[in-house]
Chains A and B, each alone.
Chain A
Amino acid sequence: MAIIGNPKYAERIDHHLAKYETKRSAVMPLLFIAQEEYGWVNAEGIDEVAQILNLDPTQVKSIAGFYTMYSERPKGKYWLQVCTDLPCALKGADDFHAWLKDELGVEEGGTTKDGMFTVEHVMCLAACDKAPMLQCNFHYVENLDQDKMRELLAKWRLEAAQAANGRG
């Protein structure tokens, strides 16, 4: 589908357009909506955001490229961003991150073959007292260890399978 004319987003788009003094200010929230719709910030999403805001698509692409939370590449259903910044690293986050990649069989930034998980490391997420931690699709999961992580992976796999069945 698209984001323009999609009833799912109409209200949110209007809310964002209303809250700023200029249309251009809404580029960030709208890019999040595009990412939600397409799973990543693809060319369609950029063009639609540009159209809504009356901007050149170059400007929108530029914004998408500057910020790390917009993915300009497709990613897994669960986008796992492990904090490996200094405070977390002092509590074993580097090892945890390496283990997780091993466990899922992916390289840094890579996605599992089944398209389920993308793993990458990120800078400090303001959760240093709860290391190791990660962010899954922008929701925090804290005080992790390998056992807890295995359970979570299983849970997410199940969730995804159920969702697929529910639909099919």
Chain B
Amino acid sequence: MSDRVTINVDGKDYAVAAGSNLVDAAKWHAGNDIPVFCYHPKMEPVGMCRMCLVELGTPSRDRATGEVMLNDDGSPQIRYFPKLQTACTTTVSDGMHVKTNTQAVIDARNDVLEFLLSSHPLDCPICDKGGECPLQNLTMRHGPQSSRMYFEDKQLLEKHYPLGDLIFLDRERCIQCARCVRFQDEVVGDDVLAFHERGRRLQIITNSDPGFDTYFSGNTTDVCPVGALTTTDFRFGARPWELNEVPSISPWDAAGENINLSMRLDRDFGGKAQIKRVMPRQNERVNEIWISDKTRFGHHFTRSEDRLTLPLMRAGGALRESNWSAVTPAIAAALESADGDVAAIAGGSMTNEDLWELRKLVEGLGGSRLGAWMPTHGGAEIVAEVGVGFGTNLGQLGRGDAILVIASDLEEEVPMWRLRLKQAQDRGAYLVVANARHTRLEDFAVQGARNDKVVEGDFIRYGAGEAVAVMQNLSADQPEIAERLSKAENLVIVAGAEGLTLDGSKALAQAAANFLIESGHIGRRNNGLLIPFPGANGMGLHYLGYRPEATLDIMENPPKTLIVAQAELLDDDPAARAWLSRVETIIYANFFDDGISELADYVLAIQSFAERDGSFVNGERRVQRFYTAQGPIGQSLPAWRVFGGIRQALGNGPLQPSAAAVMLDLSDKISEFDGITYEALAQVKREFPDVGGRDQYYGGTAYSNTGGLGVQIPTASDKRKGRRPRRLNAPEPPAASANEVLLMPITRLYNRQRNFAPTLILAPRILRPFAIVNSDDAAAMGIGQGDIVEIRAGEAVVRVQAALSDDISAGAVALPRHLTAEAIPLAITAGSISKIAEAVALAD
């Protein structure tokens, strides 16, 4: 069968993709916007709203011969359905005829709009969706002039119904299209929204506990075709037409979600532009049109009152406010006096430009140690070799393909990957989740069916620290699973670092790479390795020469002078205070003072992603740029300018005039960035589904991508085929003595990290400190559900509540990072756990 069929829309023929949806085909190929409300190209059609009615005909065929019957003039005879048909539930077929402009169609559209408006309030001027509302738009285009129904007969319904902490429902505005319900059910896989009652009384409810609570809930407000769903964050915040959309990139994790920052000049913010909301920006390869709630609501830190606004400098024992012209030469002098014993540690969300300038500064002084923070995930160099192939789109994984996620809790680490991999499984991919404990993604892997669709998956539970052995011996120990993974058309392995030391995570990456190489799943798109590095620029750190191994070296042999950039060492590492005390001079650049100012000699206020231009490399090695959205906070500067300024003061070359110029400089020197310019990063092309158009069928205006789709860096195996598996130096797995347990640090998406704290609306979702303890172990140790336990390992001492579970391997305790005020160990380690108080209610 050919992959194209010809359809006739309003008298003209178009070649369209076979099997495509009629609404999509008409829009894409014929530029014909068949109006829709319930239809959404990312979800199954349901034919509910009846807005898309068209006249539909197919060629008549002779019963006996199956031949198309012809008119006298040789044209095919078209048999039209007696009734109008919903385009959204129609799949195109060859010879199909569609009429969208007849009186019957015009009347039907008019009638459906009249029906919808008869119940809809006329509060467009105060509606958050006003100006970008499909209902408003379609009414202007196709609607009746006025409602013929009686105003006083309208149902009065709740207008401010909280579905949860984040999302409000206006029951009068809801048009029962079920897009929100279907999004949660089909896309996210958390069916926490549903209809209640029936007929005109039909309304959206949640009956979950807590309310509407998923990591993706904000997307429902985008897909809602009216202003019925609004976020607590943006409600009544601004009118869409007052907003200026600035393309940006999520600063939180390895997915690199494309976003738009909706800016408005704000009186409360000194008349300056302020982020009013964060919207997904379409990039089908990265985040399609979705973002996580952390990305959507996590922006509040950018204008927190606590931001550092000035450079500080130690004088007479105390840190004092200063200015750049005083601080820059002082730091230059301090660095010079270090005699080359200079090192730097950079956090995972530093931009490429910052990292490049910092590197030039350190190297110009004769330093060579560039550390990546946190030193938890190794193997970036392996990703550079056998990472997912050039052109990868997780949205294309499906039937015949396979996915293995090992030693990672993707829901918490990179929620967008979890969403897209679950979607891949829905499309037919085989999903295997391996870990020492239960994770959310495992729920999907073990389900046999979802929404009446058979889904395929498996899970492997291993002992704490054993991930490397499991990966290495997969074929021997799990022959069926290994066989299915090996035989898959496309295979993606996500290898994390949960329950592993740095060496262990590197070994896991190598073991995964070996499996991919041996089974022929490298150097092709939709095949290869992903690592959920912490922060938005884990791969950027690697390409720019920052290594976690260097960090460990710095920790062991501290330099005379250390530059710490966007890394919260004290919050992350219980040993940091001790080893930092051996550094003579600490230069610290960040958004907030996280307590290190006690130790630091210079504290430099730098700009966040919202205040400057920059770029990140996401976990799929896509270089993506973001743009300046708001003005600087105080005197803060972009980090690249701070470091470039110091370099200039040292006489090591001129300061670059702009971030774009820094990129030109670095792409000249770093081969992987060859050809990557701000211009190249800004390129866009039309993507399917077309969500950005005037029609606004699929939600708000802010989807449209004007900032660029980014450029992916090829892997070594994309360029040269034929890698060979490497010998693997698997470190001894960590072991615990008789009275000890293995403490596995784990990640929680919502936590008490400094940048996240100002997002007050998510504060209630941050769990109280807890540790997951194997139920049998707990029984043996006399620990009950909810008991307060004290956990000790090295310098770390934390008190948390015990959460007992059968779904964690014996001898392991999972301890979330960044929930406790005190830091927990950086990597898996042996430690002790003891009960110190009886249970208090565990529920928040």
Task: List residues of chain A with CB under 8 Å of any chain B CB.
Answer: 22, 46, 56-62, 65-66
Contact = CB atoms under 8 A, between A and B. Distances in A.
B198 A58 contact: no
Q: Which of B192, B193, B194 has the most CB of A within 10 A?
A: B194
Given A22-B449, A46-B207, A58 B192 contact: yes
A58 B197 contact: no
B198 A56 contact: no
Nearest to A21: B449
Nearest to B195: A62
Given A58-B194, A65-B196, 10 more contacts: A56-B208, A57-B209, A58-B205, A60-B207, A62-B194, A62-B195, A62-B205, A62-B207, A65-B195, A66-B195
A58 B206 contact: yes
B363 interface: no
A42 to B, nearest CB: 12
Contacts of A66: 195-198
A58 B449 contact: no
A65 B198 CA distance: 8
Contact of A56 (B190, B195, B197, B449): B190
Interface of B: prevailing SS: loop
B194 to A, nearest CB: 4
Contacts of A59: 191, 194
Q: How large is the interface on B (under 10, 10 to 19, 20 to 34, 35 or more residues)?
A: 10 to 19
Interface in B649-701: none
A14 B502 CA distance: 50
30 contacts: A22-B449, A56-B192, A56-B207, A56-B208, A57-B207, A57-B208, A57-B209, A58-B191, A58-B192, A58-B193, A58-B194, A58-B205, A58-B206, A58-B207, A58-B208, A59-B191, A60-B207, A61-B194, A61-B196, A61-B205, A61-B207, A62-B195, A62-B196, A62-B205, A62-B207, A65-B197, A65-B198, A66-B195, A66-B197, A66-B198
A56 B206 CA distance: 10
A70 to B, nearest CB: 11
A72 to B, nearest CB: 9
A60 B591 CA distance: 47
Interface in B538-587: none
Contacts of A62: 194-196, 205, 207
A150 B192 CA distance: 47
A57 B196 CA distance: 12
B437 to A, nearest CB: 20
Contacts of B197: 65-66
A76 B192 CA distance: 32
Contacts of B194: 58-59, 61-62
A35 B757 CA distance: 45
Contacts of A46: 207
A62 B178 CA distance: 13
Interface string B182-200: 0000000011111111100
Contacts of A61: 194, 196, 205, 207
Nearest to B203: A65
A26 to B, nearest CB: 15
A117 B370 CA distance: 80
Nearest to A58: B207
A116 B489 CA distance: 67
A17 B208 CA distance: 23
Nearest to A68: B198
A22 B209 CA distance: 24
Nearest to A61: B207
Interface in B109-154: none
